[in-house]
A and B are shown apart, each in its own frame.
Chain A
Amino acid sequence: MDAISVKELSAELQAAISELSSQQGLEEVGVVTRIGDGIAWIYGLRSCGFNEIVLIDGPNGSAVEAFALNLNEDEVGAVLLGDETLVSAGAKVRLKGEVLSVPVGEELLGRVVNPLGQPLDGQGPIKAKRTGPVERQAPGVIDRKSVHEPLMTGLMAIDTMIPIGRGQRELIIGDRQTGKTAIVLDTMINQSRQKTGVINVYVAIGQKLSKISRLVERLKAEGVMNQSIVVATGPSDPASLLYLAPYAGTAMAEYFRDNKQHALIIYDDLTKHAVAYRQMSLLLRRPPGREAYPGDVFYLHSRLLERSAKLSDELGAGSLTALPIIETQAGDISAYIPTNVISITDGQIFLETNLFYQGVRPAISVGLSVSRVGGSAQTKALKSVLGSLRLELAQFRELAAFAQFGTDLDEESKQRINRGQRLTELLKQPQYSPLALWEQVATLAAANDGLFDTVPVEKLKNAQHAFLANLKNEHKKEMDAINKGSEKITDEQKSLILEVAKKELKGFKV
């Protein structure tokens, strides 16, 4: 150092000073006053914005990112996104000048990422050209269109009785181990099998990593992964990442919605999301309300789910359909978070533990499940053969409960029970085997005509398989026409289905 001449030093300093002329060099700085439980309290940064990213200096020139959630008069509360152990009180904090954003685009398809868009699948960096803000305003009234196109889940119980439309928000609610994830997984698989082109975004919020790994393996095995993105957070991740996960997933899905495509987003599950937000809010010293959740827990989910929409033709007519999941305790759907999300969404699919253990899978409670907007999105082909399925099942449940007392029943009631048992059996579906539209239409047409009534319940599934196999092998062209779903089924198509059913089911009769 001694060898450096004063002239050189002066030149160096002049150069440094000249750099000051660019405003970039002058930064607003703050200081970490307290740190703990993933929250840093910062003095200074008066111009810090809500949700803005701040950079906290760590040791050896490293920096830890955090985002500002509490803007108080005297200090800023920021939630850390990185390693808390690298941050100490007194550390310098700078504004990054941007709100949190994640990479978006087709480059993310087939990838497993964390809520910051960093890859978790060991397949190298994501070379996305664009980014999207994690928090974004939902489309306005003028930007939207009514939900009118179906989003087929491949599950007959849902597509027939609780149809979901593209752009709809349909809640899946039930206790633990009732098949909530199985429903969404089948829905994702169906998008690939039916070649709908719908992009799947699965957001795992605090899910066991082993479960996420199994799910990804299954998606790969079913060939669905190339049209899917998985945003994964595990139970050991900080609450800040769990909080961000659904917003980050939505930002990724919005890219497709805004580019004239159709996307499906699954939040698994929003109960854990609310719990993560509660943890953050309590640590940020926000006043606790009911069940210790903060006052804005409704807004937490409403602003998220409003981003799922069917866009107007002027905006490209893309859509984002949301299937949020809520886990209940002992079937209590009147708890705080379940009632909130029920009121935000356009319907719910309620799964019952009892039905699940009776072998009714998917264990959908027909009475408590509803789709408020999906009716207008149901395919004409399915509508034309639907009949009064929902009513018949409701009557069957009531009569079946009554018949348990051993009361003598009249012929009509016996007939209703008989039909109800068979319809319930037909609506059962093993996992990973979604049905195509034509399969659902054919099954329903035959069932409504009473052709399954004489088949013993235990042989019903085999009979259905044989019937559908025959249609597929012998009448593929006609079935492909039904599969388009845009028109009601014609009398010829219906009589063909009934004819095949009569012939095929004959061998299964008592």
Chain B
Amino acid sequence: MNRISRRDLARSITDRIIAGEAARTVMRQAAAYLVEHKRASQMDALLADIAVELQARTGHAAADVRVAHELTAENRRALERLVKDKLNAESVELAVETDTSLLGGTVIRTAEYEYDGSARNKLNQLARGKR
């Protein structure tokens, strides 16, 4: 039997969720499939693939945002607008987390893309350039 690629699996799961099947049921079946075929290590990659598929089909994007300091409501809205713009998404869901190790700035991460505007990254780039 041919091995189903992870992307095909993600497409099939997305199809079923969009068609209205209960997400919990679909994901339990997916988990069972991964465990049975010894592909449990691909769980994270599969979730990322599903996120990409969902965004492409529904226009809904999810992004993890890390900031060095707490966001004000105004900044959060500005950030949402920009992420929507950049990802061509109709709606966006931000999971914001504070991370002081960034020193300053922000890091936005989606399934496929990343914007690293943190002070830490800039310092690292400077250090790499010096090397």
Contacts and interface: CB of A to CB of B under 8 A. Distances in A.
Nearest to A89: B41
Interface string A19-47: 11100011111010100000000011010
A13 B115 contact: no
B5 A16 contact: no
Interface stretch (A4-12, A221-229, A242-250): A4-12
B67 A13 contact: yes
Given A20-B108, A28-B113, 19 more contacts: A6-B72, A10-B72, A12-B105, A13-B67, A13-B106, A14-B75, A14-B78, A16-B105, A16-B106, A16-B117, A17-B78, A21-B82, A27-B114, A27-B115, A29-B114, A31-B45, A33-B45, A73-B7, A74-B6
Contacts of B124: 61
B112 A17 contact: no
B105 A13 contact: yes
Interface of B: 5-7, 41, 45, 48, 67, 69, 71-72, 74-75, 78-79, 82, 86, 100, 104-106, 108-109, 111-117, 123-125, 127-128, 131
14 contacts: A9-B69, A14-B75, A16-B117, A17-B82, A17-B106, A20-B117, A25-B115, A28-B113, A29-B109, A29-B112, A61-B125, A62-B131, A73-B7, A92-B114
A63 interface: yes
B105 A26 contact: no
Nearest to B10: A74
Contacts of B116: 25, 27
Interface of A: 1, 4, 6, 9-10, 12-14, 16-17, 19-21, 25-29, 31, 33, 43-44, 46, 61-63, 73-74, 92, 94
A10 B68 CA distance: 11
B131 to A, nearest CB: 8
B115 A46 contact: no
A79 B109 CA distance: 26
A16 B82 CA distance: 11
A62 B129 CA distance: 10
A334 to B, nearest CB: 39
Contacts of A74: 5-7, 45
A95 to B, nearest CB: 11
Contacts of B72: 6, 10
A9 B103 CA distance: 11
Nearest to B3: A74
A444 B100 CA distance: 83
A74 B105 CA distance: 32
B67 A1 contact: no
Contacts of B113: 26-29
A20 B104 CA distance: 15
A33 to B, nearest CB: 7
B82 A20 contact: yes
B42 to A, nearest CB: 8
B117 A61 contact: no
A1 B75 CA distance: 19
Nearest to A34: B41
A33 B46 CA distance: 13
A224 to B, nearest CB: 34
B117 to A, nearest CB: 4
Given A14-B75, A61-B124, A26 B7 contact: no
Given A13-B67, A13-B105, A26 B75 contact: no
Contacts of B112: 28-29, 44, 46
A21 B79 CA distance: 11
A25 B45 contact: no
A59 to B, nearest CB: 11
A97 to B, nearest CB: 14
Contacts of A17: 75, 78-79, 82, 106, 117
B98 to A, nearest CB: 11
A63 to B, nearest CB: 6
A14 B78 CA distance: 9
B5 A73 contact: yes
Contacts of A73: 5-7
Contacts of A10: 72, 74-75
Contacts of A44: 48, 111-112
B48 to A, nearest CB: 7
B24 to A, nearest CB: 25
A17 B115 CA distance: 10
- List the 9 shortest-distance A-B pairs measured between CB atoms, nearest first: A61-B124, A16-B117, A29-B114, A16-B105, A74-B6, A43-B45, A9-B69, A73-B5, A25-B115
B13 to A, nearest CB: 15
A242 B6 CA distance: 33
Nearest to B109: A29
A13 B103 CA distance: 12
A61 B45 contact: no
Contact of A26 (B71, B78, B86): B86
A35 to B, nearest CB: 14
A13 B117 CA distance: 9
- Among A9, A13, A20, A44, the one with the most B-chain Cβ atoms within 10 Å of its Cβ is A13
Contact of B69 (A4, A21, A26): A4
A260 to B, nearest CB: 36
